[in-house]
Structure 1
Amino acid sequence: MSVEIAHNLETIQQRITAACLRCGRDPQDIQLIAVSKKKPVELIEAALSAGQTLFGESYVQEFIDKHQVVTGPVRWHFIGALQSNKVKYLAGKTELIHSVDRLSLAKEINKQWGKADDVARILVQVNVGDEASKAGVPVDKAEELVRQLSELPHLHVEGLMALPPYADNLEQVRPWFRLLRELAEKIDTLNLPNVSMATLSMGMSHDFEIAIEEGATLIRVGTAIFGARE
């Protein structure tokens, strides 16, 4: 399995490079997050041994369990829906939280990181397709939320995240990625304190090349590395 995972990671890097060549970007500007939720520690360690150091988890308890046992140069991102009462378990353990979509959650993150006089790095999750089944701030409310977050001293907003509507035809997904990039560009012009729009977390196993072409800096890939979730 470790050989297979190493091969999968190599293939993905080749696809990243090809996508960057098509749109004139530097492959070094793209970070690959191995989405390891619901995957056993053995597979994470196999990916680690193949050189993958950045992993994304979506469930707090599962993340805490893995954080305690996985050693080595691991960088953890939290990419799933987050309840305010679970924030305290992430403090000091995650490099970036992708899924901040409301002020109440942000205030709790600010409070928990503030206890250690630290600054939480976060992304604002935007519901680009206005889907009832998905979390995220509505597009037309995103700027207002970022303005509110900019006033919290223990937060740094580093950009935006989205999980766009699924489509087999990838060209139907492209406008959603473009929408997120254009929203980030618009917010960036506001020059808000504690806010940068340098990071765009978008694109998964089936559509990350399109996301890269539209400006993604972080891609979240699980199935193409670890296989389908059981």
Structure 2
Amino acid sequence: MSIAERLAEVREEIRTAALAAGRDPEGVRLVAVSKTRPAADVIDAFRAGQIIFGENYVQELRAKAPEVKKSVEWHFIGHLQSNKVRQIAGLVSMIHSVDRLSLAEEISRQWGRLSLSCDILVQVNISGEITKSGTTAENALQLVRDIAVLPNLRIRGLMTMPPFFDDPEAARPFFAGLRQLAELIDSEDIPGVEMKELSMGMSGDFEAAIGEGATLVRVGTAIFGERR
């Protein structure tokens, strides 16, 4: 199958999952995870109507973006080191993986140098796995409060990665936990903070994530095939 055909399948699966959950399919956006894929694949997906692409590695994004030369929207979804923020300042429209105050401060600093603002999501390690990045569910509210006072940032919501399960439904409680945490934070009415975005769900479990309120699903393999 071509990238365009797989993309159409994924879009239909997103639509079906949203309708099954009683949601408007327009409320779920697809982030095509293009890490390790060549620029040509990104261009193919763009020609098939895909706009948002997610990258995990700074150097790869820096090399790929100039090759694409299309009106795509880049999201950074991987673990981000503070000393590499400068390299993607102004290049990405959203960072999904802000998990500590020091990182947020550097993002604010680097975007401020360009007189721009960056949309961010706070990454929460909802499962508590030691191999996963993210603040804890217990510390998330305070982290949001601390970040909210920084200029040049807009907190738009939360992101998580659940444990891997053979049965996608097993991940549902983790998705529900992130939604409940977002609702708790939203109820605090912190100035400048929105909880409109929930970035959760990947190729194997995005239908369950949509059922629990995902607004951004990060899908790579189902669109581009196995990683190279």
Q: 1:171, CA displacement in angstroms?
A: 2.0
Letter in 1 for 2:70: G
The equivalent residue for 1:133 is 131
Q: 2:156·2:193 contact (CA, 8 Å) conserved in 1?
A: yes
The equivalent residue for 2:203 is 205
2:20 to 10, 16, 22: 22
Q: 1:117, CA displacement in angstroms?
A: 2.2
1:169 to 167, 170, 194: 167
2:176 to 175, 178, 181: 178
The equivalent residue for 1:193 is 191
Structure 1 runs (4+) greater than 3 angstroms displaced:
none
In the aligned structure 1, how far is the partner of 2:210 from the partner of 2:224?
A: 21
In the aligned structure 1, how far is the partner of 2:155 from the partner of 2:19?
A: 29
Q: 1:157·1:196 contact (CA, 8 Å) conserved in 2?
A: yes
Instruction: Could you tell me which runs of 5 or more consecutive residues in structure 1 were left unpaired when the two chains were aligned.
Output: none
Letter in 2 for 1:129: S
1:150 to 145, 148, 151: 148
Structure 1 residues 5-84: aligned runs within 5 Å:
5-84=3-82
Q: 1:53·1:74 contact (CA, 8 Å) conserved in 2?
A: yes
Q: 1:119·1:155 contact (CA, 8 Å) conserved in 2?
A: yes
CA RMSD of aligned residues (A): 0.8
* TM-score, with structure 2 as normaliser: 0.98
Secondary structure, in 3 states, of the residue corresponding to 2:165? coil
Letter in 2 for 1:169: D
Letter in 2 for 1:171: E
Q: 1:155·1:194 contact (CA, 8 Å) conserved in 2?
A: no
Letter in 1 for 2:169: E
In the aligned structure 2, how far is the partner of 1:121 from the partner of 1:183?
A: 19
How many residues in Structure 1 have an aligned counterpart in Structure 2? 228
Secondary structure, in 3 states, of the residue corresponding to 2:181? helix
Q: 1:58, CA displacement in angstroms?
A: 0.5
In the aligned structure 1, how far is the partner of 2:167 from the partner of 2:50?
A: 29
* TM-score, with structure 1 as normaliser: 0.97
In the aligned structure 2, how far is the partner of 1:112 from the partner of 1:93?
A: 11
Q: 1:155, CA displacement in angstroms?
A: 0.9
Percent of paired sites with the same residue: 52
In the aligned structure 1, how far is the partner of 2:172 from the partner of 2:42?
A: 30
In the aligned structure 2, how far is the partner of 1:150 from the partner of 1:139?
A: 17
The equivalent residue for 1:87 is 85
In the aligned structure 2, how far is the partner of 1:132 from the partner of 1:32?
A: 28
Secondary structure, in 3 states, of the residue corresponding to 1:42? helix
Secondary structure, in 3 states, of the residue corresponding to 1:123? strand
Q: 2:169·2:205 contact (CA, 8 Å) conserved in 1?
A: no
Secondary structure, in 3 states, of the residue corresponding to 1:163? coil
Secondary structure, in 3 states, of the residue corresponding to 2:2? helix
Secondary structure, in 3 states, of the residue corresponding to 2:124? strand
In the aligned structure 2, how far is the partner of 1:118 from the partner of 1:72?
A: 21
